[in-house]
């Protein structure tokens, strides 16, 4: 299951980077208990509200490029957790910026396969390109 979790996590960031709401729909659990916390946003509960939040993000004129650093996978009986650092390059008409975000993605096993049920990202105040998560 570890490889499946890594693959699905990569698909999530690919959908994000490509602003692909259709792909995002296939990754997320389509239920009222799914949770998403974007950096600086309030807690969003339920797939329809989460989908609306992605559509708002995807409507911006920014181009995004993700590099996922230091992913760590924990497998459980019916799913797993992937923690990582997102290195994000954001390109707008005016400039290119870089940011680091610590993320937790929780996937749950359903009859239809693993689905994302929880995504939480928080900004990291660092310009260190070799940033790593410290697991104690």
The domains of the chain are located at: 2-124
The two most distant CA atoms of the chain are separated, in Å, by 47
Q: Which one is the CATH code of 2-124: 3.40.1030.10, 3.10.450.50, 2.115.10.20, 3.90.1660.10? A: 3.10.450.50
Taking 70 as the pLDDT cut, the residues of the chain under it are 126-136
- pLDDT score for 132: 56
**Phi, psi (degrees; rounded to nearest 5) at 91:** -115, 125
- pLDDT score for 136: 41
Beta strands in 16-131 (DSSP E): 35-37, 44-45, 63-76, 79-91, 96-110, 113-124
């Amino acid at each position: 299951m570890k490889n499946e979790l890594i693959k699905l996590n990569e698909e999530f960031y690919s959908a994000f980077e490509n602003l692909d709401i259709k792909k995002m729909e296939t990754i997320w659990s389509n239920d009222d208990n799914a949770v998403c916390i974007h950096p600086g946003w309030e807690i969003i509960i339920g797939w329809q509200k989460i989908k609306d939040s992605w559509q708002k993000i995807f409507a911006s004129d920014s181009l995004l490029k993700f590099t996922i650093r230091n992913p760590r996978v924990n497998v459980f009986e019916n799913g797993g957790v992937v923690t990582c650092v997102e290195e994000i390059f954001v390109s707008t008409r005016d400039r290119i910026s870089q940011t680091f975000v610590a993320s937790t993605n929780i996937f749950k096993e359903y009859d239809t396969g693993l689905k994302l049920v929880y995504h939480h990202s928080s900004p990291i105040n660092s310009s260190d390109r070799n940033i790593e998560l410290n697991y104690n």
